Each structure stands twice: as C-alpha cells, then as structure tokens.
Amino acid sequence: MIAIVAVRGAELPIGGDEAVAEAGGRAVVIGEGAQVAAAQLRGIASDVRWCEQASFAPGLWAAGLAPIVRDEQVVIMPASPDGRDLAPRLAFLLDRPLFAGAVAIGLEGTTMAEQGGRVMEVVRVDEPFVATLQPGVRGVERDPALESVTTACTLVEPKGPVDDVEVLEVLPADPATMDLAEAGRIVGGGAGVRSAESMAALSRLALAFGASYGATRVVTDWGWAPFERQIGTTGVTVHPQLYLAFGISGAVQHTAGLGDPEHCIAVNTDASCPMMGLADLAVVTDAPALVAELSRRFGIGTVKRLGEVTAPEEDDDV
C-alpha cells in the first residue's frame, strides 16, 4: 500500500498524516513545498518520496503518478478537497475501482460508513483499488524512533496532451457553509444551550470567531440546527484545531466524532461532565448566558429570554 498526499504551500492537508499511517508509512507527497511537507511526516512515515510541483493540476498529476504507483495493490489518498479531486482521475487511469470516504482501508478491502454512519459495511476487494480515507477517523501516533527515508521523485511525462482544470482564483472557504469535516475551528452547541434562539446566536458568534458551527444529535433532532451540522458517530467526523463546546456534556456518541482537537474549550454548569474533563480550558458557567454576553460584546444582537427544554434520552449526544 502507498499513500499519495497532495499539498499546497508546504502544508499537509487535513487527514494527510492519517492516510500515510493507514498505508503503513509509505507515501508520495506532491505539490508546492512537497519536501518541507514530507518532513512533517517524521515519526509516521518510513519511506517518503516527494515531488515538487508549482501548482495543483490534478489531470497532469494523475497522468504522471499513474506509472509510479501502478504496481501498488492499494493507493490511499486523504478525502481532502485535492484528494477527492485527484483520486477519481488516478483510479480511471489505473482502471481500478474507487472507494470514496472509507473509514478503514487494508489490502483486502475497505470499511465504509453507510446510512449516516449508523452502519459499517466491510467491502472485500480481490483486485487493486484506489480509496480515500475520511479525515479524523483514524488518528495518528508518532514514533520518535521511526527512521524516515525521503527521496525526490519526478512525474512521468504523459505521452499526449492532458485535459486539466484552469484555476482562475482560489477563494478562502466560508466557515458558514464549508464541510465540517474540513473546518479548522468549530463552535459546537448541545442541549445545554437550551433554546433555538440561543443556538442561532451561537452560530452567528461562530462566524464572528471565523469558525464553523456544529451541534450534537439532540440539537439537530429538535430542529435547532441542520442535520449536516451534527457532529458524532451518527453525524460528521471532524478533526479541528480548535473546538469550543457550549452546553455539551460529552456523551461518547459525540466525542467519538471529534477526532483529536489540538485545543478544546468547554462551557458547562456541570464541572464534572465528560466534556469538561476533555477540555484544555473548562469554563463553569451557564452556556446561554455566556453566548448572550459574547453576542453583546461582539455587537451581533441579543438572545431572547431562554426557556427550559425536556432532558434528552440517555443515548443522545448531549
């Protein structure tokens, strides 16, 4: 197995390290600053080839990479935006099936999350294939003793012209609409937010922070947030650098979908709840009251008087 990781600006994409770990530490890193990005895999990868390319060109890259990885039984890419663009092109050129958004990948097949994550389907594959790995589903542990061998590689020149995309402009992602799985900062709300009005204020506050907003299952079940904003085993698996949890107690169904945030701040009146134990900074206070005060200070409106809601069932993500 081998991983292909497309990089921009010498930075690994979300899930890039996980894809390399899933491939057993073998990787091809391609893009602008590939050599610098390859060095970021120290402790994860044992055999890394880096290919310096000035700009993202999925058609050209797929044509040049296909001969390099043709003898590999399994080719893995992170399900990052560039990985999702490159993977089907490469699978087509290699004449292989593509399994997109897998949660586990091995030589004999993949594990796919179906029905919104409620069902895990094991797919056995008896031929070479290409697969993308969902970011945040695996996690990575670095081994300081692991020796890494890095070498330069060159794309194989295609025999004929290659149709490719033309990049007109690269715009920053809109935190309000971007896929939660790709968000670096997330503000999450749980049942402790206590009203739809407060949840709406929390979503506006997230934008003021330059962050996306998410919610627990019980919040989406109550209609306070769209289901695509649900974080957890029955929602979206995320891997943010920063996670702010307002009124979330930290049921395992929710925390299992958090990945491993670099920084976590939790706000709750229950100082002993699991979410507070996971946080780097735990703020013991009323979440709706803090949302209202932060909204006032950021000048984004006030929250109406909060009403009480019934307690969620024990197996809900609260």
Query: Would you say 61 and 86 are in contact if contact means Cβ atoms under 8 Å apart?
Result: yes
Domain contains 166: no
Query: Do 80 and 18 reside in the same domain of the chain?
Result: yes
Domain contains 169: no
CATH number of the structural domain spanning residue 26: 3.40.50.620
- Does the reported pTM lie above 0.85? no
Low-confidence ranges of the chain (pLDDT < 50): 302-318
Residue 265: alpha-carbon gap to chain centroid: 19
Tokens linked to 80: 């990052």
Query: Do 140 and 7 reside in the same domain of the chain?
Result: yes
Report the pLDDT value the prediction gives residue 312, as an integer from 0 to 100. 40
Query: Do 123 and 51 reside in the same domain of the chain?
Result: yes
Query: Do 189 and 139 reside in the same domain of the chain?
Result: no
Counting Cα atoms < 13 Å in the Cβ hemisphere of 171 gives 5
Domain contains 264: yes
Query: Do 89 and 198 reside in the same domain of the chain?
Result: no
Query: Do 185 and 146 reside in the same domain of the chain?
Result: no
Report the pLDDT value the prediction gives residue 310, as an integer from 0 to 100. 37
Domain contains 314: no
- Bridge partners for 263 per DSSP: 242
CATH number of the structural domain spanning residue 224: 3.40.50.1220
Query: Do 272 and 186 reside in the same domain of the chain?
Result: yes
Tokens linked to 285: 């206070």
| Tens digits of residue pLDDT in 255-306 | 988 888 989 999 999 999 999 999 999 999 999 999 999 999 988 864 443 3
Query: Would you say 82 and 57 are in contact if contact means Cβ atoms under 8 Å apart?
Result: no
Tokens linked to 309: 């809601």
Give the residue from 135, 152, 169 where a domain finishes. Answer: 152
Q: How far apart are CA 115 and CA 290, in angstroms?
A: 36
Domain contains 186: yes
Residue 169: alpha-carbon gap to chain centroid: 24
Query: Do 140 and 206 reside in the same domain of the chain?
Result: no
Report the pLDDT value the prediction gives residue 89, as an integer from 0 to 100. 96
User: Sign of dihedral through CA atoms 126, 128, 129, 133?
Assistant: positive
Report the pLDDT value the prediction gives residue 116, as an integer from 0 to 100. 63
Report the pLDDT value the prediction gives residue 306, as an integer from 0 to 100. 35
Provide the residue range defining the domain that includes 234: 180-298
CA distances to 6, 18, 85, 146, 150 from 36, in Å: 13, 18, 22, 18, 11
Query: Do 70 and 131 reside in the same domain of the chain?
Result: yes
| Tens digits of residue pLDDT in 201-236 | 999 999 999 999 999 999 999 999 999 999 998 888
For the chain, what is the domain count?
A: 2
